[in-house]
Amino acid sequence: MFAKILIANRGEIACRVIKTARKMCMATVAVYSDADRDAVHVEMADEAVHIGPSQAAQSYLVPENIIAACKATGAEAVHPGYGFLSERASFCEALEKEGIIFIGPKPKAIRAMGDKIESKKFANAANVSTVPGWLGTIENAGHAEKIAGEIGYPVMIKASAGGGGKGMRIAWSKAEVRDGFDRARSEAKSSFGDDRVFIEKFVVNPRHIEIQVLADAHGNALYLGERECSIQRRNQKIVEEAPSPFLDAKTRKAMGEQSVALARAVDYQSAGTVEFIVDGEKNFYFLEMNTRLQVEHPVTELVTGIDLVEQMIRIAAGEKLAIKQSDVKLNGWAVESRLYAEDPYRNFLPSIGRLMRYRPPEEGRFGDVVVRNDTGVTEGSEISMFYDPMVAKLCTWAPTRLAAIDAMSEALDSFVVDGIEHNMPFLAALMQHPRWREGLISTAFISEEYPDGFAPIAPDSQEKAIFAAIATAVELLRRDRLDRLGGRLAPHSGALKRDWVIKIGEDYLSASVLGGMISIPLELHMSIDGGKALTVASDWRPGDLIWRGTVGDRRVAAQIRPVPNGFRIAWKGMSVTARAMLPRTAELERLMPEKVAPDTSKMLLCPMPGLVVSIAVAEGQEVKAGETLAVVEAMKMENVLRAERDLTVSKLKAKPGDSLAVDAVIMEFA
């Protein structure tokens, strides 16, 4: 076994590998760029080596820098994590020449399976069912159009060296093929240093189901069940689960055995994932093989009890697999939610900034539920524009699927993140979605259920009553705390005011306090809008960020943030501003004029912090609706900004190469 390993990665996966290495009593070496100088993985490792500037192409993607760090620290092996150099055969060979072990498959397997075009050819030769497509060289956008027409729309344009949804576009027409081809090549070049793309038929409404495999250097190979990753946005996974609610035992066995056969065919030696798309009749088609550890590996670990990072290290050290196929049992259900630094209310555009507050829910086993959070940040960490926007992977396990989903819902409600925009409201809302809870999903789920983007969820009357009850309880405790401060001119008389009005959005709800005492823990009896009496109980204190308690028979964990004259309360994907007022105050408040937002209809605003890649128009130019105005890159993804209507450009306020903040003006229109 190795005495010291180097992790050629950053963020949560670097931290994840370090945890297992510690458990196996190995010393660890971290590498870091300028942007990651104060990162968590740097602090966790026993040693850390600086490898270059913030841009990945000048640091984490430079093999020579990684090898130099190995030599300087005496690291015997390198774990690549995922992304970056994890699927680059030349990096594996360079390590071997220096006598350094690559904790992953051999170059032959990486070349055969890691390249999306070659893997398709190899799978076809091995009689593995694949999706119809064109695997040869595509010369230009015109050639791409011709191929797409022959295959039949819709088609998927994918980077050969791609992954993580980057360098990938779905096209439904000739125009979309031409634009998608250019964008996919550009993203592939900047993300992977390889601009080759291929085209295949896009199977409408498929499920994305993948099989986890393990294989050693002694001819042993097995599969660890499946993960369903159908909840995707822009071809990037957001929520994963294990097992799949769709597969039966027969299909699972067939997919697993086919995956193992494919792994054996390329002499695979490590953990790997064979991805399939599965149609409504349970027909499955080979999509690709990821010759590395997957982002979503924790759900497999939770249902099998097998540490995949440990297995990778042991296989790389030459050990035989200590488990057989018959030893693999799927126990319970696990769900993973990816917390991204992106704004769900602005079409999930990336967000950057400092984590002013970052307090994940407590990890561990709580009765029949397990909570796990894989992360590479802490409170005060900076989310930069240079890397992937994923902040954390929150996982829950329970004996049944619905129990795991409910546990995830409560864990999301208890996860405090301030300072950046994030997708927690969307994840929390998803956990309540009937179609998700029933398992009736496909890769088109988000586009079908949120065709106009994700909008704030409006609470129903029962949910408004819960928000009003919480707001009343919070306001009474806040006022009581103020009344106990010394030097008050008019201390509280001691009488508990009975009647309140709670404004939620544009609605005014009456709240009547029927009994109880203002104390911590709090227990109040109240009625909302003349409804039946209910009891509100909580140990919340002024200043706490999470309100935990019960409202009637509902158990609630809600986020509380102060706003002028009230509170912002978030719960289960809903977020409201609640203001608790005395009746006379509410009467006067109704008379206040409404503040109108400024008109920005004649401006193109930057929808996210990012780098201006190109400006497609000139001052005075007339453009038609749908035409490209500019391209902005953020977190390795290019975002095309198009005209929403016919207009004339009057003034350009930005140029290629500019770094813009969110809502910065790019151009103005006449």
The pTM (predicted TM-score) of the whole model is: 0.84
pLDDT of residue 465: 96
Residue carrying the six token digits 């129990």: 403
Residue 98's contacts (CB-CB under 8 Å, 6 or more residues apart) are 67, 70, 71
Q: Are strands 236-242 and 221-233 parallel, antiparallel or unpaired?
A: antiparallel
Separation CA 208–CA 448 (nearest Å): 16
Q: Which two tokens stand for residue 271?
A: 């953990």
The C-alpha angle with vertex 594 and arms to 590 and 597, in degrees rounded to 5, equals: 160
pLDDT of residue 297: 98
> What is the set of active-site residues?
288
Give me the numbers of helices (H) and strands (E) for the chain, helices first please: 17, 40
Q: 397 near 404, Cβ under 8 Å?
A: yes
Q: 412 near 424, Cβ under 8 Å?
A: yes
pLDDT of residue 636: 67
Q: Which two tokens stand for residue 52?
A: 């270059």
Q: 575 near 564, Cβ under 8 Å?
A: no
The C-alpha angle with vertex 256 and arms to 232 and 82, in degrees rounded to 5, equals: 50
- Give Cα separations from 601 to 153, 241, 604, 643, 668 (angstroms): 35, 42, 8, 11, 9
pLDDT of residue 164: 63
Separation CA 316–CA 269 (nearest Å): 8
Residue carrying the six token digits 């006067």: 588
Enclosing H/E stretch for 398: strand 390-398
Q: What is the DSSP-derived secondary structure letter of residue 173?
A: S
Strand partners, 669: 649
- Give Cα separations from 96 to 106, 113, 365, 379, 657 (angstroms): 10, 19, 41, 39, 39
CA atoms within 13 A on the CB side of 142: 0
Separation CA 538–CA 520 (nearest Å): 8
Q: 223 near 272, Cβ under 8 Å?
A: no
Sequence-ordered strand ranges (E) for 27-149: 27-33, 47-52, 77-79, 101-102, 133-134
Q: 514 near 526, Cβ under 8 Å?
A: yes
Quick check: helix, strand or coil at residue 98? coil
pLDDT of residue 133: 82
- Give Cα separations from 137 to 118, 148, 165, 360, 492 (angstroms): 11, 14, 21, 46, 79
Question: In whole angstroms, what separates CA 504 from the centre of its chain?
Answer: 30
Residue 473's contacts (CB-CB under 8 Å, 6 or more residues apart) are 522, 524, 536, 538, 540, 549
Separation CA 269–CA 92 (nearest Å): 13
pLDDT of residue 491: 60
Task: Please choose, from the candidates 397, 421, 287, the residue with its C-alpha nearest in 3D space to the C-alpha of residue 337.
Answer: 397
Burial class (CB in 10 A: 0-12, 13-18, 19+), 542: middle
Q: What is the mean pLDDT of each run of 10 residues along the chain (670 residues)?
A: 97 98 98 96 98 95 97 98 94 97 96 80 79 80 90 87 76 90 85 83 88 97 97 91 97 94 93 93 90 97 98 98 96 98 88 94 97 97 90 98 98 97 96 96 93 91 96 93 75 75 94 91 94 95 95 96 94 96 93 84 89 93 92 83 92 93 92
Strand partners, 517: 523
Task: Please choose, from the candidates 294, 295, 291, the residue with its C-alpha nearest in 3D space to the C-alpha of residue 116.
Answer: 291
Quick check: helix, strand or coil at residue 637? strand
Separation CA 533–CA 515 (nearest Å): 10
Query: Which domains are assigned to the chain?
Result: 4-103 (3.40.50.20), 132-201 (3.30.1490.20), 210-216+227-449 (3.30.470.20), 461-484+495-589 (3.30.700.30), 603-669 (2.40.50.100)
- Give Cα separations from 195 to 49, 124, 633 (angstroms): 30, 23, 17
Task: Please choose, from the candidates 612, 636, 637, the residue with its C-alpha nearest in 3D space to the C-alpha of residue 628.
Answer: 612
